[in-house]
Amino acid sequence: MKKIIVTGGAGFIGSNFVHYVVKHHPEVQVTVLDKLTYAGNRANLAGLPEEQVKLVVGDIADAKLVNELVQETDAVVHYAAESHNDNSLKDPFPFVQTNIIGTYTLIEACRKNDVRYHHVSTDEVYGDLPLREDLPGHGEGEGEKFTDQTPYNPSSPYSSTKAGSDLLVKAWVRSFNLQATISNCSNNYGPYQHIEKFIPRQITNVLSGIRPKLYGDGKNVRDWIHTNDHSSAVWAILTKGKIGETYLIGADGEEDNKSVMELILELMDQPNDAYDHVNDRPGHDLRYAIDSTKLRQELDWKPEFTNFRDGLADTIRWYKDNRDWWEAEKQAVEANYAKNGQ
């Protein structure tokens, strides 16, 4: 694989993947196709070698542009999306347009040009799991984590459009022999994550003198993985994955939101109750948990950045050291949340 297109490569996770490729595979040419929405940022690609990484600013739903680019490539790794649940509850349309029509445009181009396609998706397509405390044996039994056999049951406009895009890919594999793989990953954290998301929102709240905000009772559980581990998993699937297969990516990082909030406060030398309870998210998924056995056993992948406390401390340091990256947007992001009492 000599030339790849990375859609959404100027966003949080896509840019991490581009850095991963540059570091580990200097022979691979990368074209980033990114619309630079509010979530995309050229600065995420700063310092990368111009002779290896090219940024094309454009829309994945632009069929002409996509066709021209896909003709020149060996593979497409598709990260671009509208990615934030809360935004999808306010205005679902961009989610339908980018996540469904955008994906359709890419897979049509890959089909016509016989190009390898990897589809980056989310564990949220499976809906949610009961809290462990509500399960007999505290959730250690069969069926209590997501696997690639779990039925789709998405809750939000965001997750339903991601689910729709996954189903398009599955149909294109079966009907048109699209050379595709799919990955469904759990919650990522790390540097460069947009400050609308839970962890960076709370870190930058503390750094801005704003009280952090917890939705509801904070019992909801997310299965955290460092974004570096997501990138190594996607590379493994792109290069060793079996066509037509779905791989779930996770690092056994289940934490409830209240515990994550308290850990952020502790690491930032704040009292552990120095936050506000705010309005809950409508339809708020209770728990996500990934069973990544298939990926680990079949593709010999394992996560490396599994110490959540250390990863969070590094992430906090990054936001402290990179105020220029987020500070200009902070007021507008918080004003938007305040409209919903969040």
Helices vs. strands in the chain: H and E counts, helices first: 12, 13
Residues 254 and 291 sit within 8 Å (Cβ to Cβ): no
Sequence-distant (6+) residues with CB within 8 A of 153 are 126, 127
Sheet holding 29-34, edge to edge: 53-57, 29-34, 3-7, 75-78, 116-122, 180-185, 246-249
Residue type, 46: A
CA–CA separation, 76 and 44 (whole Å): 20
Give the residue numbers annotated as catalytic, written as ranges.
Answer: 123-124, 158
* Contacts (CB under 6 A) with ligand DAU, residues 258-317: 281, 288
100 binds ligand NAD, rule: CB under 6 A: no
Of the pair 185, 312, the CB lying nearest ligand NAD is at: 185
Q: For residue 299, give the amino acid letter.
A: L
Interacting partner of 289 out of ligand NAD, ligand DAU, none (Cβ under 5 to 8 A depending on kind): none
Site size for ligand NAD, by CB under 6 A? 30
- Chosen from ligand NAD, ligand DAU, none, partner binding at 35 (C-beta under 5 to 8 Å by type): ligand NAD
Q: How far is the CB of 194 from ligand DAU (least distance, A)?
A: 9
Paired sense of beta strands 116-122 and 180-185, if any: parallel
Site mask for ligand DAU (CB under 6 A), range 182-201, x = bound: ----xx---------xx--x
Binding to ligand NAD (CB under 6 A) within 155-184 occurs at 162
* Nearer residue to ligand DAU within complex by CB, 29 or 156: 156
C-beta atoms surrounding 329 within 10 Å: 15
336 binds, among ligand NAD, ligand DAU, none (CB under 5 to 8 A by kind): none
| C-alpha dist (Å) from residue 200 to 80, 126, 131, 149, 264 | 20, 25, 24, 32, 10
Task: State the minimum distance, in angstroms, from the CB of residue 269 to ligand DAU.
Answer: 20
d(CA 182, CA 185): 10
Taking contact as CB under 6 A, which single stretch among the options 52-60, 213-221, 298-306, 325-333 is the one that binds ligand DAU? 213-221
- Terminal CA-to-CA distance of the chain, rounded, Å? 45
Quick one: which of 227, 193, 231, 198 has its CA closest to 212?
A: 198
- Which of ligand NAD, ligand DAU, none is residue 291 near (CB under 5 to 8 Å by kind)? none
Is 8 near ligand NAD (CB under 6 A)? Answer: yes
Q: Decide if residue 66 touches ligand NAD (CB under 6 A).
A: no
Which of 209, 288 has the CB closer to ligand NAD? 288
Candidates 29, 31, 105, 187; binder of ligand NAD (CB under 6 A) is: 187
Q: Which of 29, 31, 45, 59 binds ligand NAD (CB under 6 A)?
A: 59
Q: Is residue 195 close enough to count as binding ligand NAD by CB under 6 A?
A: no
Q: Facing residues of 121 across strands?
A: 184
CA 118, CA 107: separation in Å to the nearest integer? 10
Which residues of the shown chain bind ligand NAD in the complex (CB under 6 A)? 7-8, 10-14, 34-37, 39-40, 59-61, 79-83, 98, 102, 120, 122, 162, 185, 187-188, 194
Q: Which residues bind ligand DAU (CB under 6 A)?
A: 83-85, 122-124, 186-187, 197-198, 201, 213-215, 220, 222, 257, 281, 288
